[in-house]
Chain A
Amino acid sequence: MSKPRVAIFDFACCEGCQLQIVNMEEEIIDLLSVVTPVEWREAISDQSTEYDIAIIEGSITRPEDEERLKTIRDRAKVLIALGACATIGGVNKLKNNFGMDDVKSSVYGEARDMPHLSTYPTKAADEIVKVDYKVHGCPIDNREFAYIVKCIATGKEPVIPYYPVCVECKEKENVCRFEYGEICLGPITRAGCDARCPSNGAWCFGCRGFVDDPNMNAGREILEKYGKTVEDLMHRIVLFNTGRKEE
C-alpha cells in the first residue's frame, strides 16, 4: 500500500491537540515516513479533497459543521477523532447543561439572535458519523497519537487501555487523592495518560472519558469510605463528561 494521505480538520475546540502534534517536533519526521499530510490548516497552506485518513479535532455545535463532518466522512477511508472535544464532547458539553437561548444571551446579550451566532447542543464526532479510532485526552498524549497513526498506516490494530487511571496512578506510587479529601475521577476514567494529573498533585478530571465498563459499585464504595456523595462526584464529572451515560 502506498503512503496514506492524511488531512486534519478542526471544529469547535482550542486546537491544543493539533499543538501536541506540532510539539512532537523532529519526531514528526518519523511519522512522515508512514503518512503524507495533504491538509492541515493550522500548519500548512495546502488544501485537498483527496485523503485516506481524516483526523477530526473539536466538537460539532452548528448544523453547517455537521454537514462538513459528513462530507469529510464520505471522502475518508478512516476517520480518527482527536482529543476529548471530538471523542466525548469534553468541556464544550458543559453548554448542554443550559438552554441554548440562555447560553447565547449570557454571552452575546441582545445580539443573541443574529444568525451567525447560532448554536445547538454540543455533539461528539461519533454522535454524527462513524468514528473508527479515538485518540483520547485533553490534550491528547502525542506518543499515543503517533502510535495509533502508525498502527493504522501499517494495518495493525492499536491497543488502547480499557482499565482505569488508578492502575497507572498506583504504578506511580502516588498517594490516593481521596486521602487528601478530594474528589478524583481516576476510578472511572480510562487510563493511558500515565496518571498525569494525580502525579502532579491534582485530581483526575476525567478527560479521557469513562472506562469501557466502569465498576459503579466500587465507585460508590469509595465515595462512602471517604464521606463523599454522588452529587459531589457529578459536580466534577460534568467538566468533561456532561451527558455521558452514568448510573
Chain B
Amino acid sequence: MGKSIDINVHHVTRVEGHGNILVKAQDGKIEKVEWQVPEAPRFFEAMVRGRNYLDIQTIVSRICGICSVTHSLAAIKGVEDALEIEVSPQTDKLRILAHYSEQVESHSLHLGYLVAPDLLGVNSVVPLVASHPDVVKTVISLHKLGNQWMELLTGRMTHPVTIVPGGFTKLPTEAELRGLQKKIKEGIPALNTLKDVILSLASRLPAFDRPTEYVAVKDKSVYSFYHGDIASTDIEKTEDVHNFESCVNEYVSPQSTAKWTKWHRDSYAVGALARFNVNADLLLPMAKDVAKEFGLKKGCCNPYMNNVAQLLELYQVAEHGLQLIDEVLTASIKPEKPVSRPKAGEGVGCVEAPRGILFHRYAFDARGNCTRANICIPTGQNHANIQKDFEVLVPQFMDRGQDELKLIMEMLVRSYDPCISCSTHFLNIDFV
C-alpha cells in the first residue's frame, strides 16, 4: 500500500492503568510495533515483608481497586495454605459468592463503561446517556448489583473488610441473603438487555484470529474461579498451583514495568476467554445458551471475543450464585468466628481475577510475620500476548488507515480488560 503510519498513543484511555501503543511504518514497511507498560511500579512483594499474616490481605487488596476482592482472596488462601488453616464449607461458599460479586462488578463496568462506547462509536459512556439511555440504565443496574452484592458479603464496595484468614469477621443474615437472591433474579432481564445490545453490535468486533495458549484455573465439576489446578489448552494434564512459577516463567521486558510471562509458546493469554476455552463444558445452561447465540465455541482464538466470554460469565456467576445462596440457606447460617494462629510456613493462593488467573505466594516466620512474597498478576501474563497480537494484527489491518488501525489496536487492548495498576498499571498507544 505504500502507506506511512505513525501511531503514538500515550496512555490508552478507558482502561485501568497506564499503557502506550507505538506503531511506526514507512512506505508500507513496519518498523516498530510496541505495547509499552510505563505504570509506576509499586513493589508490593517488598512491602509486605515483616507484616503480620492478619494484615496481608489488607495491604495487597490495594494492588488493584477493580480486583480487590480477588487479591484479598488469593492472599487469604496463600496465608491459610502456609499456616494450615482449614475453613468451613459455609466460609468456602460465602467466599465464592463474594468473589462472584467482583466478576459482576468488573465485567459490567468493562463491557458497559469501557467497551460499549467503542461499539457505539463514541468516546465515552457520557454521550450514551443521551443517545442510548436504556443501555446506560441497564449497565448501571448491573454494576450496582455487583456492588451491592459485594458490600453485603465483604463490608463495602472495593477493599473488602470482612474476609480474613479463617473466615468472616461479619456474616450476612439469612434475610439479607434472600434479599440478594431476589436482586440477582431481578438482574437477569437486565443481563438479557445487555446481551441483545452486544449481539446486535457483535459484527463490529474485528475478525482477527491468532492461535495462542490459554491458561486458566480448572476444577473437577464446576466452571471455576476459585478452586482448582492450573490448566493450559496446550497440555492434557493440569499443574498443581504450588508450581506456578514453573508455568508463568516471569521475565523483565524493557517495554514494561510489569513483568511478562510465557509457558509453552512465546506468550499465553488469561481471562474470560481462557476460562471459557478451558472450562466451556462446565458452564451452566444460561451461559451455554449465550455462547450458542454468539456462536462462541471452545477453541476460539479471537481475542476480541473475550468481551463475549465476559458476558456469558455474568450469566454463569448469576446462575451459580443463586445455587450457592440456596445451599447456604438450606444448611442455615452458623455464627462461625474466624479462627487462626501464627505458625512458620509457606503457601500459595490461586484464584481467577475477572481478567485472569492470579497467583500469590507467601512465607511466614513462627510469629506469623511475612518473610517473602511473590505475586503474579493476570494482566502481566497478558502483556506478551498483546504484543504478539499487535505484531500479527498491524500488517493485517494496515490498509484500513491510521485512524481505524489505532482504534482497532485500542479495542484489542481493551478486550483484554487490562488492569495495569495490578500488573503495575498500563496503556498508551504510540503510533510514531
CB distance from A236 to the nearest CB of B (A): 7
B134 at the interface (CB under 8 A from A): no
A49 at the interface (CB under 8 A from B): no
- On whether the beta carbons of A16 and B47 are closer than 8 Å, the reply is no
Identify which of B9-17, B290-298, B354-362 touches chain A. Answer: B9-17
- On whether the beta carbons of B55 and A236 are closer than 8 Å, the reply is yes
Q: Which residues of A contact B421 (CB under 8 A)?
A: 13-15
Q: Which residues of B contact A1 (CB under 8 A)?
A: none
Which of these, A44, A65, A138, A200, contacts B123 with CB under 8 Å? Answer: A44
- On whether the beta carbons of B252 and A111 are closer than 8 Å, the reply is yes
- On whether the beta carbons of A61 and B40 are closer than 8 Å, the reply is yes
Q: Which residues of B contact A41 (CB under 8 A)?
A: 11, 13-14
Contact with A along B47-73 (1 / 0, CB 8 A): 111111001001100111110100000
Which of these, A22, A65, A107, contacts B45 with CB under 8 Å? Answer: A107
- On whether the beta carbons of B13 and A44 are closer than 8 Å, the reply is yes
A42 at the interface (CB under 8 A from B): yes
Which of these, A47, A102, A117, A239, contacts B41 with CB under 8 Å? Answer: A117
Q: Which residues of A contact B161 (CB under 8 A)?
A: 196-197, 200-202
Q: Which residues of B contact A197 (CB under 8 A)?
A: 155, 161
Q: Once bound together, how far apart are the Cα atoms of A156 and B324, in whole Å? A: 49
Q: Which of A12, A58, A119 has the most CB of B within 10 A?
A: A12
Give the interface residue-count category, chain B. 35 or more
CB distance from B201 to the nearest CB of A (A): 18
- On whether the beta carbons of A20 and B158 are closer than 8 Å, the reply is yes
Q: Which residues of A contact B157 (CB under 8 A)?
A: 19-20, 23
- On whether the beta carbons of B11 and A14 are closer than 8 Å, the reply is no
Asked if A106 meets B155 with Cβ closer than 8 Å, knowing A42-B14, A45-B14, A116-B254, the reply is no
CB distance from B10 to the nearest CB of A (A): 10
Q: Which residues of A contact B162 (CB under 8 A)?
A: 200-202
- On whether the beta carbons of B14 and A19 are closer than 8 Å, the reply is no
Which of these, B46, B50, B144, B170, contacts A201 with CB under 8 Å? Answer: B170
Identify which of B124-132, B231-239, B314-322 touches chain A. Answer: B124-132
User: How many residues of A are counted as interface, with CB atoms below 8 angstroms from the partner's CB atoms?
Assistant: 58
B113 at the interface (CB under 8 A from A): yes
Across the two chains, which residue of chain B brings its CB closest to A141? B156
> Which residues of chain A from 18 to 67 have a CB within 8 Å of any chain B CB?
18-20, 22-23, 25-26, 29, 37, 41-47, 58, 61-62, 65
Asked if A119 meets B63 with Cβ closer than 8 Å, knowing A103-B46, A200-B170, the reply is no
Q: Which residues of A contact B123 (CB under 8 A)?
A: 44-46
- On whether the beta carbons of A29 and B129 are closer than 8 Å, the reply is yes
> Which residues of chain A from 100 to 130 have a CB within 8 Å of any chain B CB?
102-104, 106-109, 111, 114, 116-117, 119
CB distance from B9 to the nearest CB of A (A): 10
- On whether the beta carbons of A91 and B62 are closer than 8 Å, the reply is yes
A146 at the interface (CB under 8 A from B): no
A92 at the interface (CB under 8 A from B): yes
A210 at the interface (CB under 8 A from B): no
CB distance from B252 to the nearest CB of A (A): 4
Which of these, A18, A65, A138, contacts B40 with CB under 8 Å? Answer: A65
- On whether the beta carbons of B65 and A18 are closer than 8 Å, the reply is yes
Q: Once bound together, how far apart are the Cα atoms of A25 and B142, in whole Å? A: 11
A145 at the interface (CB under 8 A from B): no
Asked if A26 meets B140 with Cβ closer than 8 Å, knowing A16-B159, A43-B124, A116-B38, the reply is yes
- On whether the beta carbons of A138 and B43 are closer than 8 Å, the reply is no
- On whether the beta carbons of B252 and A114 are closer than 8 Å, the reply is yes
- On whether the beta carbons of B58 and A205 are closer than 8 Å, the reply is yes
Q: Which of A14, A47, A104 has the most CB of B within 10 A?
A: A14
A149 at the interface (CB under 8 A from B): no
Q: Which residues of A contact B66 (CB under 8 A)?
A: 15-16, 19
- On whether the beta carbons of A43 and B125 are closer than 8 Å, the reply is yes
CB distance from A194 to the nearest CB of B (A): 10
Q: Which residues of A contact B155 (CB under 8 A)?
A: 196-197, 200-202
B143 at the interface (CB under 8 A from A): yes
Q: Which residues of A contact B51 (CB under 8 A)?
A: 94, 239
A-B contact pairs, 11 of them (CB 8 A): A14-B62, A15-B16, A15-B64, A23-B158, A91-B62, A106-B49, A107-B41, A107-B43, A111-B252, A139-B158, A196-B156
Interface set of B (CB-CB < 8 Å, partner A): 11, 13-18, 38, 40-43, 45-52, 55, 58-59, 62-66, 68, 109, 113, 117, 123-126, 129, 140, 143-144, 147, 155-159, 161-162, 164, 168-170, 252, 254, 256-257, 259, 421, 425
Interface set of A (CB-CB < 8 Å, partner B): 10-20, 22-23, 25-26, 29, 37, 41-47, 58, 61-62, 65, 90-92, 94-95, 97-98, 102-104, 106-109, 111, 114, 116-117, 119, 138-139, 196-197, 200-202, 205, 235-236, 239
